Structure 1
C-alpha cells in the first residue's frame, strides 16, 4: 500500500487527483458517447470539475469519476452494457480520508500466544487492538473503518494470503487514543472442525485497513 494514497469511498487514489481542476461533465461524457445521466428526479447533477478516479475501461469494468461538493465528492459510475455506456449519478457526498496504510500506522493487532483448541470445536477467538495514535479508531469523521477482524489457520511456515472475500457488517465499537480493546476474530477457515490434531499458525487481519497481526501458534488436540 502506498503511504501517500487517500481513500475516497471504496477507492484508494493519489491525492493529486483531487487537486486537479477537472473538466465539465459534458466533456467527460463525450468520451463515452454522451450517455444520459441516470439520477433521481430531485438530484442536481454537478456540472463541473469532474475527474476520473478509477478506470477499468480497458478490461470492460466500471469507470468512476468524482466532483467536489459541499462536504466531500459526488460520484459518477460509467458502465459499458450491450455496446453503449450507462452513466449513474450518486449525489451522496463521499468523504476523503487518509489511506489505509496511514490509518493503520498507529495500530497493533495482537493475537493470544500459544493457544490450544479441542479438535472438532470452533473456538471463540479474540485479539487485542492497541491504539498508539492520537485519534480514536475508527475515526467517526469518515466512517470507513470498523473493528471487524477475520482470522484463519495455516500450516507452520506458510505465509498468509492477501485477499479476503468475507466482509461482515459487525465490528462496532471504538478504541480511544492510548487505549486497547478486545476485538472478535471471525475464523474463515472453512474446514476448521475437520483439521487433524497438530500445530498450526493463526493469522488475523483488521479488515478495513488491512492490518495483519503477527502469527500465533495454535495446537489442536484430540476430542474432549
Structure 2
C-alpha cells in the first residue's frame, strides 16, 4: 500500500488527510483511544503509516485533530442556533424558552446531518473519563467550556427560580444524561439489557424525545428546602 499525496486525489475525492481523520473517528470510537492502533486506522483509510506521520506527526496529534474536528462541528452548530434565537428575541420576537435552550443543547446529537459524529464524539469523551488525558482536557477548554458558560447565562434568564448552585447541578446532570443517552444509541445498549429488549436505543428520535422530557422536568422542578 503506497503513500498517496493530496495532489494525486481527484477534486471530488477525499484527500488522504481527510480519509485518515474519517477512519480514526470510527476506530477510536470502536476501540477507544488507547487501544486503537495506527495500523487499524491506516488500513481503513487506505494509506500507510508514513501518511499519518507526514500529516499529523504522531498518534496524539491525530487524536487531537479528530476530536477537534468533531467538537468544532457540534459547537459551531449550537452557537449558530443560539445566535439565531438571541437575534430573534433582540428583534422583538419570541423570547428564548427553556425548551428551546434544551433543544439547542441536544439538537446536534439528534440532527441527521450531525448525529453520527456527535455520537462518536460522546463515546470518545466517555472513554476518556476512565483515563483522563491532556488531549480531552484541551478539547473541553477550547470548545465545550465556552459554550457551557454561554448556556448557563441563558438558563439563568429562563429558569430564574433556580439558585446558582441548583442551576450548576442541573447543567452538570444534563451533560451526564446526554453523554449516556446519546452514546448508548446506535447499537446494543444498556437500556436493552435492563428492559429485556423491550426498549431499543436504535430509535434515536424516540430516545431524544425521552431525553428532552427528562431534562425539562429536571430544570422546571425547584429543589426542596433542606430540613434542619
Per the normalisation by structure 2, the TM-score is 0.26
| Structure of larger gyration radius | 1
Q: Which is helix-richer, 1 or 2?
A: 2
